[in-house]
Amino acid sequence: MVEVDGVTKFYGDIKAVDSVSFTLKQGEILGLLGPNAAGKTTLMRIITGFLPASRGAVRVSGYDVFEDPMQVKRRVGYLPEQPPVYPDMTVRQYLRFVAELKGVPRRDRRARVDEAMDMAGLAHVAARLIANISRGYRQRVGIAQAVVHRPDVLILDEPTVGLDPEQIIEIRELIKKLGRAHTIMLSSHILPEVSATCDRVVILKQGRVVAIDTQDGLRRHAEDSATLKAEISGPAKDAAARFAAIQGVRKVSPIEWPGGSGATLIVDAEPGADVRAGIFDCCVDNGWKLLGLHREQATLEQIFLKLTAADSAPGEEASA
């Protein structure tokens, strides 16, 4: 559906995107993840034909964005980071304008605008000026704008940025709903965002792809070191030293509770080693009470940090 092939973009001397390649399959929701200034927006702008690439090619449904920009633009719906709305128009006026601009035939326009408003839950604000609706609703207008011409592919740049938690959940639901009928690519620097909605993740750092995988695959990558969290009532330093002596334990970081009533110990075990029984026995032997012990499921956050840190400083991981 979308093929990104060796795309590189220079801004003057600065390389914003560096030989990025991946494909977006039909019906898929792909997350583009990376810290700020990783090149996510630049890449999306290249795919939508807003910016030309310095090198490389992008094809949407087989059309090259540089050679056939009009064909690509007809097939892509784009929500920039800032929803591109005109505050002096009503929601309906605006969507009618966008439908006309994107070449929806006159006879279908009303139906398409109604369809987009229904889908985005905008029917009850149709007659309001965009200046007078909330940030969350503006974002929905931005999404309605992107789907009004029934594009094959939706490109959403940070669709939930700047929204309150309730609005974020609503927009996520909306994206999932859209995912049933569209192929979607969305960007985010917030991990829960991507893990809540996407099938696959492309991780970008400094313009380069550091990982492409399904969420499960990424998580499996990170499970080569199991981290345990133990809460005990006992002396923090002493416990840390004893735990470190247990076979299979690589590293222990103690955090003493205020008042000295106990401690939380982060235990980093070797891959494949189950040290839980060892920790339990150690507590019993020393007369400490084990208040809690659980395995930390590696979150996308940790995977992300690991992947991006490994990329910038290869020596760092070995010492950790």
Partner 1 sequence: MKTLAIYKKEVLSLFVSPIAYVSMALFLFLLSYLVTYDMNTSDLRDVFSAMSILMIFFIPMATMRTMSEEMSRGTHELLLTSPASLASIVAGKFLAVMTLVIALFLCTGQYAVIAAMYGKPDWMLISTGYLGMLLLCAQFVAIGVFASSLTSNQFIAAVITFVALLFFIAVDVLSYIFETVSLGSVFEHLAVFTHFQDFDRGLLDLSHFIYYFGMIILFLFLTVRNLETRRW
Say if residues 58 and 44 touch (Cβ distance below 8 Å): no
Chosen residue from 63, 78, 137, 304 binding partner 1 by CB under 8 A: 78
Contact map string, positions 26 to 45, toward partner 1, x by CB under 8 A:
-------------------x
Residue 112 contacts partner 1 per CB under 8 A? no
**Parallel, antiparallel or unpaired: strands 200-205 and 29-33:** parallel
Please state the closest distance from residue 39 (CB atom) to partner 1, in A.
16
**113 DSSP 8-state letter:** H
In the block, tokens 């930390």 appear at 296
Q: Which one, 154 or 269, has the nearer CB to partner 1?
A: 154
158 is written with which tokens? 């940070």
Plot region of 60 (φ>0 → left; ψ -120 to 50 → alpha; else → beta): beta
Please state the closest distance from residue 190 (CB atom) to partner 1, in A.
21
Q: Which one, 45 or 205, has the nearer CB to partner 1?
A: 45
Residue 89 contacts partner 1 per CB under 8 A? yes
Count of positions on this chain that bind partner 1 (CB under 8 A): 27
Instruction: Name the segment binding partner 1 (CB under 8 A); options: 15-23, 66-74, 274-282, 286-294.
Output: 66-74
Residue 48 contacts partner 1 per CB under 8 A? yes
Q: Which one, 145 or 188, has the nearer CB to partner 1?
A: 145
73 is written with which tokens? 């633009």
| Strands ordered across the beta sheet of 14-24 | 14-24, 2-11, 55-60, 63-64
Residue 85 contacts partner 1 per CB under 8 A? yes
Residue 131 contacts partner 1 per CB under 8 A? no
CB neighbourhood size of 84 (10 A): 14
251: which strand partners? 268
79: which strand partners? 156
Residue 84 contacts partner 1 per CB under 8 A? yes
Residue 133 contacts partner 1 per CB under 8 A? no
Judge residue 267's burial from the number of C-beta atoms within 10 Å of its C-beta, 0-12 exposed, 13-18 middle, 19 or more buried.
buried
Q: Which one, 44 or 230, has the nearer CB to partner 1?
A: 44
Maximum pairwise Cα distance, the chain: 81
Q: Say how far residue 248 (Cα) sits from the centre of its chain.
A: 34
Residue 136 contacts partner 1 per CB under 8 A? no
Residue 86 contacts partner 1 per CB under 8 A? yes
Residue 145 contacts partner 1 per CB under 8 A? yes
Residue 73 contacts partner 1 per CB under 8 A? yes
Residue 76 contacts partner 1 per CB under 8 A? yes
Judge residue 228's burial from the number of C-beta atoms within 10 Å of its C-beta, 0-12 exposed, 13-18 middle, 19 or more buried.
buried
> Residues with Cβ < 8 Å from 21, sequence gap 6 or more?
4, 5, 6, 7, 56, 209
Residue 50 contacts partner 1 per CB under 8 A? yes
Please state the closest distance from residue 53 (CB atom) to partner 1, in A.
11
Q: What is the Cα–Cα distance from 308 to 41, expressed in whole angstroms?
A: 18
Residue 22 contacts partner 1 per CB under 8 A? no
Residues of the shown chain interacting with partner 1 in the complex, contacts defined by CB under 8 A: 45, 48-52, 70, 73-74, 76, 78, 80-82, 84-86, 88-89, 93, 97-98, 100-103, 145
